Amino acid sequence: MHVRPAALAATLTCLLLTAGCGSGTGGGVGNLGMPHTLVGEDYDSVTLLETDASGTTVTGTLDTTQVDGTDVRHQHGKVSGTVKGERVTLTVDFELGHTALKGTLSGSTLTLQAPQPDGQIEDYVLKPHDVAYYNQRIQALQAGATPTPSAVPSSFFDQE
């Protein structure tokens, strides 16, 4: 299934579009095994999730940048949630509302369940990357480029 970043952003912002944030990579968050900085991307958006943990509690920020033609939109939200084993539950608070997301953490890959405009639920995959990678992807989007398999590390596509 192809998850449109716009659909994820709309879900994350309760019908708003986009978000984006971060800093360097690190090991797993606390003892949870979740990477400190995760990036998800598609042909017209990039999302960065940066987290810290205490026990099973996760806090952090979520940022998404989306390009629609020449329109570039950014959305920033505060994240709180829990990680219990492979199960992840996150709440993202944006300026105009909040949304809850569920997903799974498999190794260093976080797969969030993203409701689509047509009502279907699709996976949105975030993998460990640093802020420099996120910023490079934003620059490419803003320059009118779209991520291609040759521009995205092959590890991004390894989902199992």
Position 100 scores a pLDDT of 85
With CA atoms as reference, report the closest residue to 24 among 135, 108, 126, 109: 135
Name the residue type at position 14: C
Architecture category of domain 5-145 in CATH: Beta Barrel (2.40)
User: In residues, how long is the chain?
Assistant: 160
Evaluate if residue 16 carries a pLDDT over 90. no
Query: pLDDT value at position 24?
Result: 35
What b/e readout covers 106-120, taking b as 16+ CB neighbours within 10 angstroms?
eebbbbbebebeeee
Query: Domain residues of the chain, as ranges?
Result: 5-145
Strand ranges (DSSP E) for the chain? 28-29, 34-35, 37-42, 45-54, 57-68, 71-84, 87-94, 97-106, 109-115, 121-128
CA gap 52, 60 in Å, rounded: 6
Verdict on whether the full-model pTM lies above 0.75: no
